[in-house]
């Protein structure tokens, strides 16, 4: 798995937290750090061929940075089927409010998914939703999809 910050986000604590959490869940993680331009991210991911690419933002520019990063990643044929997720503070208050030109979190999620992300985790979702996604992804790779899909359907949504 690869964990990376977005291009304009210099925070590192979120990336270290994600790395440690994913490792605690049993995954091998490479942390590429903050402020990585999309072209560099795509080149590293092409070299690594990760099972999952996780982008994290805490500065509120996750949507705009994420849209350009996922375009770079999806332009690499070897990454066409690689799950790519983004999470954290993806927008500012104005962007996340419905109306006032912001469209709300649902509109933002739709734009990110339409651009090529496999899943979007807003800061309000918390870690359990991300953990369910990562667990389901691991089960799919291990061929245990039936049981996991049943568990995901039965789990309460946050």
* CA distance linking residue 56 with residue 98, whole number of Å: 23
Q: Is the CB of residue 77 less than 8 Å from the CB of residue 48?
A: no
Q: How distant, in Å, are the alpha carbons of 10, 27, 111 from that of 115?
A: 23, 27, 6
pLDDT band at 2; cut points 50, 70, 90? very high
pTM greater than 0.85 (yes/no): no
pLDDT band at 60; cut points 50, 70, 90? confident
Q: Residue 79 half-sphere exposure, CB side, CA atoms within 13 Å?
A: 28
Q: What's the CATH architecture for 2-125?
A: 3-Layer(aba) Sandwich (3.40)
- φ/ψ of 61, rounded to 5, equals -110, 20
pLDDT band at 137; cut points 50, 70, 90? confident
pLDDT for res 100: 41
- φ/ψ of 144, rounded to 5, equals -105, 40
Q: Is the CB of residue 55 less than 8 Å from the CB of residue 42?
A: no
pLDDT band at 150; cut points 50, 70, 90? low
Position with higher pLDDT, 100 vs 41: 41
* Centroid of chain to Cα 106: 16
Q: Is the CB of residue 54 less than 8 Å from the CB of residue 4?
A: yes
Average pLDDT over residues 89-94: 79
pLDDT of residue 84 exceeding 90, the answer is yes
* CA distance linking residue 78 with residue 153, whole number of Å: 31
What is the DSSP-derived secondary structure letter of residue 34? S
**Is residue 75 classed as helix, strand or coil in its secondary structure?**
coil
């Amino acid at each position: 798995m690869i964990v990376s910050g977005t291009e304009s986000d210099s925070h590192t604590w979120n990336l270290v937290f994600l790395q440690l959490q994913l490792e605690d869940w049993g995954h091998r993680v490479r942390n590429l750090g903050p402020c990585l331009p999309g072209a560099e991210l795509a080149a590293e991911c092409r070299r690594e061929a990760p099972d999952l690419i996780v982008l994290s933002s805490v500065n509120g520019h996750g949507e705009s940075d994420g849209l350009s990063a996922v375009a770079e990643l999806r332009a690499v044929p070897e990454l066409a089927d690689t799950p790519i997720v983004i999470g954290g503070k993806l927008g500012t208050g104005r962007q996340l409010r419905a109306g006032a030109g912001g469209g709300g979190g649902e509109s933002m999620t739709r734009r990110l998914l339409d651009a090529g992300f496999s899943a979007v985790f807003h800061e309000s979702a918390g870690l359990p939703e991300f953990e369910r996604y990562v667990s389901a992804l691991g089960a799919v790779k291990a061929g245990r999809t039936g049981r996991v899909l049943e568990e995901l359907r039965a789990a309460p949504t946050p």
